[in-house]
């Protein structure tokens, strides 16, 4: 995950100026439905969308990828979308937010995508106006495939309700993508913890640092989504979202809180992993120092003994000058004393559970 990935204009550019798209590769799909029928248009031309807007049915227009300026401006003109909102769609990396006015709701969300153990944050922008929902998703991954399948399947609540219920489902889907991602983080934390208990090397430390960094960045991108849902729930003036749908938004709010709590917990656990790593390194160093200290301690008495008998006193000058040097069993006796001392010290260490 990049530390900075926001697209922006040069300072001083006029408000509403559109930056150049990254790739100009995008797809535009349209679903127009009511309780009895549904029409699906894949890869539809942006100019053909006008015929479906405000026709009495619920119309969902989904733009995947990086649309051209012409496509964006055409949609904006047909739906009376403000230039600043269009700018936010183009300049991805926006902070999650919600804009509410009398005729429109505009929401920006962060979509976490896990691909080959790499986390990417895509921006999802959703407009709700009258019976029309327009969604934009950067990148190649379309998170709304399951909703398309539900709409095309058996007629249920999603087909019978108004556009605000579709609006809720899109937001709820984006938020719920945080749960499989957090599940993968849970598994990674468990693996690293098990590895730390067995060995503590720099490779594990790098994994912990990377994981902690990703969780911190993910928290920064997902935390504002709680305020987005709160703002929708608190709004009493806008009548585009019915009380029945707001009840579902409360459940969505619970999901956001759960994700935030898990993120906080996992971030604290990674901090605990850092402490566990430092503790493991310290214990390993203590074990090494313990072994070296025992070895040094065992050889202190023999060193003293051989040091004493290494003194240059001539026993022929005096009977008090180390008379045992003239004893034919003196060498063997010294070795016996050394062995007995070392054995006794080992027994003493073992009795006190020092080894």
For the chain, give every domain's residue range. Answer: 26-280, 299-351
CB 72 within 8 A of CB 18: yes
* HEC profile of the chain: CCCCCCCCCCCCCCCCCCCCCCCCCEEEEEEEECCCCEEEECCCCHHHHHHHCCCCCEEEEEEEECCCHHHHHHHHHHHCCCHHHHHHHHCCCCCCEEEECCCCEEEEEEEEEEECCEEEEEEEEEEEECCEEEEEECCCCCCCHHHHHHHHCCCCHHHHCCHHHHHHHHHHHHHHCHHHHHHHHHHHHHHHHHHHHHCCCHHHHHHHHHHHHHHHHHHHHHCHHHHHHHHHHHCCCCCCCCHHHHHHHHHHHHHHHHHHHHHHHHHHHHHHHHHHHHHHHHHHHHHHHHHHHHHHHHCHHHHHHHHHCCCCCCCCCCCCCCHHHHCCCHHHHHHHHHHHHHHHHHHHHHHCCCC
Query: Above 60 in pLDDT, residue 30?
Result: yes
Q: What is the CATH topology of the domain spanning 26-280?
A: Beta Polymerase; domain 2 (3.30.460)
Query: Above 90 in pLDDT, residue 66?
Result: no
- The pLDDT mean for the chain works out to 84
pLDDT at residue 126, as a whole number: 93
pLDDT at residue 167, as a whole number: 93
254-295 pLDDT tens trace: 999 999 999 999 888 888 888 888 887 787 888 888 888 888
208-262 pLDDT tens trace: 888 888 888 888 888 999 999 999 888 877 778 888 888 999 999 999 999 999 9
- Angstrom distance (rounded) from CA 112 to CA 124: 10
CB 277 within 8 A of CB 204: yes
Query: Above 70 in pLDDT, residue 33?
Result: yes
Query: Above 80 in pLDDT, residue 299?
Result: yes
Query: Above 60 in pLDDT, residue 191?
Result: yes
pLDDT at residue 254, as a whole number: 93
Comparing 281 with 98, which gets the higher pLDDT? 98
Average pLDDT over residues 330-355: 86
pLDDT at residue 353, as a whole number: 78
CB 142 within 8 A of CB 113: no
Structure confidence at residue 171 as a pLDDT band (50, 70, 90): very high
Give the percent of the chain with pLDDT over 90.
18
Average pLDDT over residues 103-115: 88
Average pLDDT over residues 183-205: 82
Please tell me the pTM assigned to this model: 0.76
pLDDT at residue 125, as a whole number: 92
pLDDT at residue 290, as a whole number: 86
118-129/132-137 β-pairing? antiparallel
Least reliable range by pLDDT among 7-21, 217-231, 315-329? 7-21
Query: Above 80 in pLDDT, residue 6?
Result: no
Average pLDDT over residues 1-29: 64
CB 21 within 8 A of CB 69: yes
pLDDT at residue 88, as a whole number: 83
CB 116 within 8 A of CB 237: no
């Amino acid at each position: 995950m990049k530390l900075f990935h926001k697209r922006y204009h040069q300072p001083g550019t006029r408000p509403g100026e559109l930056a150049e798209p990254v790739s100009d590769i995008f797809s535009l799909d349209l679903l127009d439905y009511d309780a009895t029928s549904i029409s699906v248009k894949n890869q539809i031309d942006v100019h053909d969308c006008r015929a479906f807007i405000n026709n009495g049915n619920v119309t969902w227009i989904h733009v995947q990828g990086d649309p051209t300026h012409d496509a964006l401006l055409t949609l904006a003109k047909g739906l009376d979308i403000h230039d600043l909102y269009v700018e936010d769609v183009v300049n991805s990396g926006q902070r999650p937010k919600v804009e509410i006015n009398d005729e429109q709701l505009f929401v920006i969300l962060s979509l976490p995508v896990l691909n080959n153990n790499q986390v990417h944050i895509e921006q999802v922008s959703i407009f709700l106006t009258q019976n029309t929902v327009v969604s934009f998703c950067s990148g190649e991954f379309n998170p709304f495939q399951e909703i398309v399948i539900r709409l095309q399947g058996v007629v249920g609540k999603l087909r019978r309700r108004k556009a605000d219920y579709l609006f809720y489902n899109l937001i709820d889907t984006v938020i719920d993508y945080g749960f499989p991602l957090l599940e993968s983080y849970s598994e990674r934390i468990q693996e690293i913890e098990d590895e730390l208990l067995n060995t503590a090397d720099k490779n594990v430390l790098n994994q912990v640092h990377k994981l902690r960094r990703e969780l911190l960045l993910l928290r920064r991108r997902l935390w504002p989504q709680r305020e987005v849902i709160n703002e929708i729930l608190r709004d009493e003036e806008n009548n585009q979202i019915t009380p029945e749908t707001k009840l579902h938004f409360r459940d969505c709010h619970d999901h956001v809180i759960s994700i935030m709590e898990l993120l906080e917990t996992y971030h604290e656990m990674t901090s605990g992993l850092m402490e566990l790593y430092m503790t493991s390194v310290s214990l390993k160093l203590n074990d090494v120092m313990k072994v070296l200290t025992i070895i040094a301690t065992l050889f202190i008495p023999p060193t003293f003994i051989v040091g004493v008998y290494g003194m240059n006193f001539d026993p022929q000058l005096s009977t008090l000058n180390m008379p045992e040097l003239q004893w034919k069993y003196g060498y063997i006796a010294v070795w016996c004393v050394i062995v007995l001392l070392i054995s006794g010290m080992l027994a003493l260490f073992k009795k006190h559970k020092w080894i």
